[in-house]
Amino acid sequence: MVDADQTFVIVGGGLAGAKAAEALRSEGFTGRVILICDERDHPYERPPLSKGYLQGKDARDKAFVHDAAWYAQNDIELHLGQTAVAIDRAGKAVRLGDGTLVHYDKLLLATGAEPRRLDIPGTGLAGVHHLRRLAHAERLRGVLASLGRDNGHIVIAGGGWIGLEVAAAAREYGAEVTIVEPQASPLYGVLGPEVGQIFTDLHAEHGVRFHFGARLTEIVGQDGMVLAARTDDGDEHPAHDVLAAIGAAPRTALAESAGLDLVDRAHGGGIAVDSSLRTSDPDIYAAGDVAAAQHPLFGTLRVEHWANALNGGPAAARAMLGQDVTYERVPYFFSDQYDVGLEYSGWAPPGSYDQVVLRGDAPKREFIAFWLKEGRVLAGMNVNVWDVTDPIQQLIRSGTEVDTTALADPTVPLDSLVP
């Protein structure tokens, strides 16, 4: 039985929002729970959009967080296809696009992120794609299958995780792929040049062509269709389709218009929250891709990955209920490309580390990479090596110096290096 004395509102129908709603009920909250989503689909997870579903291996329904009946069974009031356009902090209400006012006692912003757009001529052509929503994946899945049948060519702007995962899917369909990346290696902003080369080799072996040190300047078309993509160094790549995979921007417009504190884009952007995921307004919280939290190990940090939404939504829900919450999970994500599966824990962008240690057989792509500073592990990535996430994260949390010779030796159990 729902008690209408308290109303908690969640804006954002992704994994963070859905898991927050679930946590409110599992923690015994009996008030109203209202979930506002600007998509018409029920809340879903995003990894399948560039992995199993895009590859044609998983059914569409596998992406959904809960089946449709779960929301009614748990008294979650869904507003699908509705956009939150303003927050009245004084009146404690969210205004929807149709003018409806939804009042709240506590509010969670889980508005996620949106793909960055290419600001070049030709982006309005029919064959230019982004990948963020289920509808994008549905369209791109059909495109890749068609390109594979017709020996078609896709140019991907950006060699990050999305770019590489789509490239792998495209090659499995049989499409020709060129990746245009301004850095000297893929995944440069996450892995740096030392490990990025391993992924260059992986994709090159599967027929992907790389064009490093360049950016797209124009997409050339005819009769509304893509013909080629030009780069700033004068090259032109024939293409039937182009994917913009140049990152994502946190969806902070709603928070900004409400006067909530934000983090500068130079530091990752997002809604500023404390260690309990509370914003500068004590009755408003933020979680998932949009939240820039105070992390005890890494300082202000905004994480755009599945595990952060999975765990951050429930953490925010518990904080909204008045529980003592400190959100301090080590950042974690995973990726699948061809026959390579990997897990990454921690945070070590270029410039933050002074050493990379490899453990295992990198040429066979069965190894663990560690990023260290002054002998302390900042991050670790296991590639086709499993059941090591816990000791990797324990090494990161410990903050103590490790014996790098032992760290590189696969015969030395990782657990033995944890203080």
Residue 353 lies in domain: 339-417
Q: What is the pLDDT of residue 1?
A: 57
Q: Count CB neighbours of 61 within 10 A.
A: 11
Tokens at 319, concatenated: 């904080």
Residues 158 and 237 in one domain: yes
CA-angle at 414, arms to 409 and 418, nearest 5°: 125
Nearest to 346 by CA among 409, 401, 394, 311: 394
Total domains, the chain: 3
CA-angle at 109, arms to 106 and 115, nearest 5°: 175
Residue 123 lies in a domain: no
Residues 205 and 161 in one domain: yes
Residues 41 and 101 in one domain: yes
Residues 267 and 213 in one domain: no
Residue 286's contacts (CB-CB under 8 Å, 6 or more residues apart) are 108, 109, 110, 255, 270, 271, 273, 277, 279, 316
DSSP letter (8 states) at residue 191: H
pTM, rounded to two decimals: 0.95
Residue 297 lies in a domain: yes
Q: What is the pLDDT of residue 4?
A: 72
Residues 182 and 132 in one domain: yes
Residue 327 lies in a domain: no
Mean pLDDT by 10 residues, the chain (419 residues): 84 97 97 97 96 95 96 97 97 96 98 96 96 96 97 97 98 98 95 92 98 98 96 97 97 98 91 97 98 91 94 98 96 96 95 96 96 98 97 96 97 95
| Domain harbouring 344, CATH code | 3.30.390.30
192 conformational bin, left if phi > 0, alpha if psi -120 to 50, beta if neither:
left
